[in-house]
Structure 1
Amino acid sequence: MAINYEKLMAWPFEDVRHRYTQRDTMLYALGVGLGTDPTNETELRFVYEKNLLALPTLPVVLGYPGMWLKDPATGVDWVRLVHGEQGLRLHRPVPPEGRTRVSQIIDKGPDKGALIYTERTVTDATSGELLATLTSTTFCRADGGFGGPAGPVKTVHELPTRAPDHSDDFATQPRAALIYRLSGDYNPLHAEPAVASAAGFKQPILHGLATYGIAGWALTQRVCGGDPSALQSLDVRFSSPVYPGETIRTELWVDGKVVSFRARAVERDIVVLNNGRAELR
């Protein structure tokens, strides 16, 4: 079954009302990998309820619409899809309610796959104020050639050619994906070896948004002075999967309020996040 362009563009997402507690905030930080050293007081602020802070990337798991592309009516081969890009713009502190829509679908052609762009807005359930806007690109590797438009595609942020201004290494745990999925993304690709093998991976892979959270943590520590509210936006391209247990090295270039970044899996020396662009308040 091929992608039905008109049906996907009009996909009826239901509004998601999401009430989060301190427990959810701490579980998300643990899923990203904080707290491995329970005596690290910098990380303790995000995983312990006393004077608790939320990671700036927490909104990526709020108002999550679930595995909607697993619905047979979408026509998507969900086993072979991967997260392609992620963007986040923070308007206010972390929110309780969200809304999703498909904004664009790109047909890259037969054997080249398709891109599905979605946008999620997160608003305060009481005041109606817009708190965060999230954009996401899903790369459907097996679904090109359905006759949809070939463009336009998003422009890529070019990284500086000089050496990075900062570098931060973060060791993930072998069980990292099993913890991160408890924040709401239950795609079996991240837990079930047979599904990972069918998708072409040697083992379950880490959620791209977990790696995204690690990059957000590096930004918070290296250029925001440990203050998560100093980060306003965070956009990146997922260029290669991460296997739980690998070390993620985030490289940062600071140019005023704009920070360029990428991340690599140290053990394989392969870039896993690329063309990253963050803005500071």
Structure 2
Amino acid sequence: MGFEYEKIKNWPIPEGHQDYTANDCILYALSVGAGAGDPAADLNLIYEKKLEVLPTMAVTMASQGTMWVADPATGIDLSKLLHGEQYLTIHKPLPVEGTVKSRSYVQEIYDKGVEKGSVMMLAREISDVDSGELLATCTSAVFLRGNGGCGGPTSGQPVPQPIPERAPDAVIDAISREEQAALYRLTGDTNPLHIDPKFAAMGGFPKPILHGLCTYGFAARAVISAVCDGNPARLRKFNLRFASPVFPGETLRTEIWNEGEGKAAFRTFVVERELLVLNNGYAEFDPA
């Protein structure tokens, strides 16, 4: 079947549910590098007696509905699908345990033309089942390079955050571990691209790559450390564009700029290859 704008814009995406505990929160923190090198520095993220939840854990929660794009009836060309950008708004700090549900929907599909494809903005709202409170909204910009000419709007897509043309106010390095992707898979993303060398080779990579959302979590930890005094509950928004893949074991250097009260810009490089991997980063946070 062909890809049709109205059909995809109104696709009935299944609701997601998830029960989680403090152990899941600790696992997520470990999977994005917390505790590496100096566990005492991250006790609030990995010790159940004083536990706080990294807000970027929201991107992993109640995500059962995300695989609808693989349904052949959508007409989506999976071989040319790329997760290009990730946006996160935290409405309320995540509890250390509970049951959540998600409502997912296609916000918009921007048509870039037959040759360039389209950009689908896919949102997932995560709510606490017991209280009904909205906890977080995760929005992904998915590049559908094989589905251009769909008839969607040609303008209106969110504009990436510009990076300041001055020296950063903070620079934070974090070393990913060789088993980082194997650990991050336990949070729910079991794509073999991140664990199976043969599958990675089929994708043109010399070895399995790190999940983009794992790198996303590393950057969030750096930003929280630099502008939130290490307090994850202060983070309110965390948006960025994925630029290049990371290999487990590489050093991630995040450059951060203060952009006025409660705002910051950032980007992340792989030190060993001098390669930009996350760009156009934008964070909002509660001022001290």
Q: CA deviation at 1:197?
A: 3.2
Q: For residues 241 and 54 of structure 1, do their structure 2 counterparts lie closer, same or farther at Cα, with a shift above 3 Å needed?
A: same
Counterpart of 2:49 in 1: which secondary structure? coil
CA contact (8 A) 2:171 2:253 kept: yes
SS of the residue 2:273 aligns to: coil
Shift of 1:174: 2.0
Q: 1:68: how far off?
A: 2.4
- Are 2:124 and 1:124 aligned? no
Give the superposition deviation at 1:83: 1.3
Pairing 1:225-240 to 2, within 5 Å after superposition? 225-240=229-244
Letter in 1 for 2:73: A
1:254 shift after superposition: 0.6
Aligned to 1:274: 279
Deviations 1:78-129 (A, max 9, x none): 2442211111111112162221101111232334232111111111212211
Equivalent pair of 1:9/1:103 in contact (CA under 8 Å):
yes
Alpha-carbon distance change, 67 to 200 in structure 1, aligned in 2, over 3 angstroms: farther
User: Aligned residue for 1:40?
Assistant: 39
Q: Please tell me whether the aligned partners of residues 79 and 199 of structure 1 are also in contact (alpha carbons under 8 angstroms).
A: no
Identical positions, percent: 46
Q: Which residue of 2 aligns with 1:263?
A: 268
- 1-structure distance, mates of 2:250, 2:115: 30
Shift of 1:147: 4.7
Q: 1:248 aligns with which of 227, 252, 257?
A: 252
Letter in 2 for 1:198: M
**Partner in structure 2 of residue 115 of structure 1:** 119
Q: How does 1:57-72 map to 2 (within 5 A)?
A: 57-64=56-63, 65-72=65-72
Residue type of the alignment partner of 1:8 = I
Partner SS state of residue 54, structure 1: coil
**Residue 155 of structure 1, aligned match among 154, 159, 164:** 159
1:133-192 CA-to-partner distances (Å, cap 9, x unmatched) read: 111111233333445443332212111111000000111112211211211112222223
Structure 1 residues 118 and 6, CA gap change in structure 2 (3 angstroms): same
- TM-score, length-scaled by structure 1: 0.92
Aligned equivalents of 1:169, 1:242: Cα separation in 2: 14
Provide the TM-score with structure 2 as the length reference: 0.90
Amino acid corresponding to residue 97 of structure 1 in structure 2: K
Within the candidate set 191, 197, 206, 2:201 is matched to 197
Report which stretch shifted further, 76-85 or 194-203. Answer: 194-203
Amino acid of the structure 1 residue aligned with 2:176: T
**Which stretch of the first structure deviates more once superposed, 6-15 or 64-73?**
64-73
Question: How many residues were matched structurally?
Answer: 280
After superposition, residues 152-191 of structure 1 pair within 5 angstroms as 152-191=156-195
Map 1:10-89 → 2, pairs under 5 A: 10-37=10-37, 39-64=38-63, 65-89=65-89
> Which consecutive unaligned segments of at least 5 residues does structure 1 have?
none
Cα deviation digits, residues 3-24 of structure 1 (max 9, x gap) = 2322211111122121110111
Indicate how the Cα distance of structure 1 residues 235 and 197 shifts in structure 2: closer, same or farther if over 3 A, else same.
Answer: same
